[in-house]
Amino acid sequence: MVDSDLKDLFRDVLTDEPPITASIQEDLARGRARRTRRRQRRLTVTGAALAAAGTTALLVPALVDDDPVPAASDEVWPYSTSASSDVASVVPQFGGPMPSSADAGPESDATADPLERVVWAAVRSALPADLSPTEPGFAVQGLGEGYGLSFTAVRGEAVFTVDVVVQAAPPELGVFRPCTEPAQTPDAVDLWSACSQGWDDEDRWRVVGHAGDVTGVAVAEGGSAAVTVVWSTLIDHRPSDQKDLAGTFSPEEANAIAEAAWRAGSRYDADELVVGTGPGWDVDAVRRDFQGIEAILEAAAGPVEELSADTSRDHVAATYATQAGNVTVTMWASSERYYAGLCWILTACEQWPGSIDYFAALDDSAPSMGSTAVAIGRQLQVAIDTTGTNGFVDFVMPITAALGMTSAQE
Amino acid sequence: MPAIDEAAYGEYVAARRRALLRTAYLLTGDWHAAEDLVQETLTKLYVSWRRVLRRDDLDGYARKTMLHAYIDSTRRPWRREHAVDVVPDGGGSGDPADGSDPRARHRLLTALAAVPAGQRAVLVLRFWEDLSVEQVAGLLGCSAGTVKSQSARGLDKLRDLLGTNEFALVEEG
């Protein structure tokens, strides 16, 4: 008997297979219900955390003051950067020979971008000795304007993904302050835990912390380069209720990876660290898109009347009355910062827990649970608020599909 | 923000439910339990849909989710299965490959049920899903060596229960 025979045995076992009676609508309903329960749990936990931190608010004026930005001198990076010199010593010189490695990855891939190979070699050198990347690193698409690497890591019992993005440093450092300025999102106030931020002894802005239960983030910005390291246990074998970041990276280890990637990236000029097109912002083009949206709404729900339109430097928004109710569509330019935007994957929206400009385009209005936001290419982010409708018409898919096609044609 | 891309999710579920259900049945040996397992898997998939899409490995995530939901379920006392030393013959033809004989199927299922959950998962992934040792190791979060040893033990167990004729030549390299 060979393998195929064993497969035949399995097939025989399945011969009394019943017809499938479950409906997709039931699957959707279960998924929505689970998602709602998780949200409610998060809100409860966050509320309790904020209540417990009530007295702490006095000690953390950034949460309540009108001017929350403390003086730079008040925020000293608590971690040592001395260990980075060890990391730097193994970072290959730009243009120099790549370190030999039997493992597959961008550094051994002749087709990979040279900078990508340098960054990967640096990151690999900074990984803890007992951690093994189970997949070759590869360029991450859609993660801001820069170079991205992504791999899955196994360390003991923990299985987690690691993204490392190297970008040009932002014009203004110290803007991203998740430890003291939590982002408000539709899910909750994203108060980071195990969070530290500050200026290190090389005048770089540094951040390390846990953005929720399953995501860790480390940031290093200064000179020409900015690095964001994101590690997540979301795709892990443990039950979702038991997932956390235990056994992944300590803050020091995450900092070392950010440090290594930063040192690799900082050997390049800022211009060399920009990949892809700039965010761009052509109000006229966006207005043209809106005319298309009006037609889409009309096709979906009959006659449409534009109730209001708002075109500003930062965003374009319009509210339409349809026979199914009112729909508001808002568009704004994607940020080039990996951590800043709400939506950071293409043609869908993965909510970034540290988003700092999510509601900038929505005039700081309260987040609506009925809003759906998507990223359209690297250029545009769109929020579609259908809370004023009767819920019987799907406006989101036709709009995003049309905009996605437009973006793809550009 | 209620919406994931439910249309895409629906398409995926429609395309993959049957395959998931079959794998779940081989793991659990019971169609109702298999349906429960698939439902749990699809619910978790919905919750994580956007992140999983980003990884562009829907099947891998679904498999992993199902696998660990299954292993978790076997740890619950009311679902724990008890190993048997001898598979009841039931007076059938004795040829487990004869799919027309429900008694033979019962015998096979009983034998599979006697294989510990982790080993059974390895056997199903390796010989039904046709995954490589490395792929199974990635799903289970263990080494390739562990997969090989678990597979070999699972096959040994089946040989013990069903006789060496059927399984004599199956080896896990």
pLDDT in tens, A167-188: 888 877 887 887 876 654 444 4
pLDDT higher than threshold 60 for residue B88:
no
- CA gap A74, B43 in Å, rounded: 46
Per CB-CB distance under 8 Å, the chain B contacts of A187 are 1
Q: Which residues contact B21 (CB under 8 A, 6 or more apart)?
A: A17, A20, B34, B35, B38
- CA gap A86, A128 in Å, rounded: 13
Which band of pLDDT confidence, cut at 50, 70 and 90, is reported for residue A23? confident
**Average pLDDT, integer, range B70-99:** 43
Please give the residue of chain A at the shortest CA–CA distance from B140: A237
> ipTM of the assembly?
0.79
Mean pLDDT taken over chain A:
69
Q: What is the distance of C-alpha A253 from the center of its chain?
A: 21
Q: What is the distance of C-alpha B158 from the center of its chain?
A: 15
Contact criterion met (CB below 8 Å) for B65 and B37: no
- CA gap B151, A11 in Å, rounded: 19
Question: Which CATH code is given to the segment(s) B1-80?
Answer: 1.10.1740
Question: How deeply is A50 buried, as exposed, middle or buried, from its count of CB atoms within 10 A (0-12, 13-18, 19+)?
Answer: middle
Nearest Cα residue to A296 out of A210, A185, A404: A404
- Using the Cβ of A351 and the Cβ atoms of chain B, whether some distance falls under 8 Å is answered with yes
Which band of pLDDT confidence, cut at 50, 70 and 90, is reported for residue A250? very high
Q: Please tell me which of A114-118, A140-144, B97-101 the model is most confident about, judged by mean pLDDT.
A: A114-118
- How many Å lie between the alpha carbon of B117 and the closest alpha carbon of chain A? 15
- CA gap A385, A331 in Å, rounded: 12
Per CB-CB distance under 8 Å, the chain A contacts of B109 are 13
Hey, what are A237's tokens?
């074998």
| From A17, A38, A397, residue closest to B22, measured CB to CB | A17
Question: Is A298 in a helix, a strand, or coil?
Answer: helix
pLDDT in tens, A305-321: 988 887 766 677 888 99
pLDDT in tens, A350-385: 444 444 443 333 333 333 434 555 555 545 667 777
A155 forms beta bridges with: A158
- CA gap B39, A34 in Å, rounded: 12
Residue A51 amino acid letter: A
Pairing between β-strand A205-210 and β-strand A215-222 as defined by DSSP bridges:
antiparallel
Residue B74 amino acid letter: T
Per-residue confidence (pLDDT) for residue B20, from 0 to 100:
95
- How many Å lie between the alpha carbon of B125 and the closest alpha carbon of chain A? 11
Which band of pLDDT confidence, cut at 50, 70 and 90, is reported for residue A16? confident
A232 forms beta bridges with: A161, A215
pLDDT in tens, B33-72: 899 889 989 988 887 787 677 667 788 888 888 887 787 5
Least confident of A249-263, A298-312, B56-70, B78-92: B78-92
| From A10, A351, A370, residue closest to B26, measured CB to CB | A10
Nearest Cα residue to A45 out of A181, A182, A183, A187: A187
Question: How deeply is A18 buried, as exposed, middle or buried, from its count of CB atoms within 10 A (0-12, 13-18, 19+)?
Answer: exposed
Q: Please tell me which of A9-18, A310-319, B139-148 the model is most confident about, judged by mean pLDDT.
A: A9-18
Domain B88-164 has CATH 3.30.365.10: no
Q: What DSSP designation does B125 have?
A: I
Domain ranges across chain A: 68-273, 283-409
Q: Which residues contact B144 (CB under 8 A, 6 or more apart)?
A: B133, B134, B137
Domain ranges across chain B: 1-80, 88-164
CA dihedral A224, A184, A375, B44 (to 10 degrees): 110
| Selected residue with higher pLDDT from A66 and A129 | A129
- Using the Cβ of A64 and the Cβ atoms of chain B, whether some distance falls under 8 Å is answered with no
Per-residue confidence (pLDDT) for residue A122, from 0 to 100:
93
Contact (CB<8Å) B48/A234: yes
Looking only at Cα atoms, what is the longest distance across chain B? 59
A405 forms beta bridges with: none
| Selected residue with higher pLDDT from B95 and B58 | B58
pLDDT in tens, A47-105: 443 344 333 332 222 222 223 333 333 578 888 775 444 444 433 333 233 333 334 45
Contact (CB<8Å) B43/A27: yes
Nearest Cα residue to A395 out of A333, A339, A318: A318
Per CB-CB distance under 8 Å, the chain A contacts of B10 are 24, 27-28
Contact criterion met (CB below 8 Å) for B113 and B29: yes
Looking only at Cα atoms, what is the longest distance across chain A? 76
Helix A114-126, helix A251-265: angle, nearest 10: 150
Contact criterion met (CB below 8 Å) for A345 and B50: yes
Contact (CB<8Å) A17/B55: no
- How many Å lie between the alpha carbon of A7 and the closest alpha carbon of chain B? 5
Q: Which residues contact A205 (CB under 8 A, 6 or more apart)?
A: A173, A174, A176, A197, A198, A199, A219, A220, A221, A222
- CA gap B157, B143 in Å, rounded: 21
Share of chain A above pLDDT 70, in %: 56
Please give the residue of chain B at the shortest CA–CA distance from A352: B51
Contact (CB<8Å) A31/B68: no
Contact (CB<8Å) A14/B25: yes
* Interface contacts (A, B; CB < 8 Å): 155
- Using the Cβ of A197 and the Cβ atoms of chain B, whether some distance falls under 8 Å is answered with no
Per-residue confidence (pLDDT) for residue B29, from 0 to 100:
87
pLDDT higher than threshold 80 for residue A278:
no
Per-residue confidence (pLDDT) for residue A240, from 0 to 100:
62
Contact (CB<8Å) A159/B22: no
Per-residue confidence (pLDDT) for residue A45, from 0 to 100:
35
Q: Which residues contact B12 (CB under 8 A, 6 or more apart)?
A: B45, B58
pLDDT higher than threshold 80 for residue A393:
no
- Using the Cβ of A172 and the Cβ atoms of chain B, whether some distance falls under 8 Å is answered with no
Contact criterion met (CB below 8 Å) for A163 and A230: yes
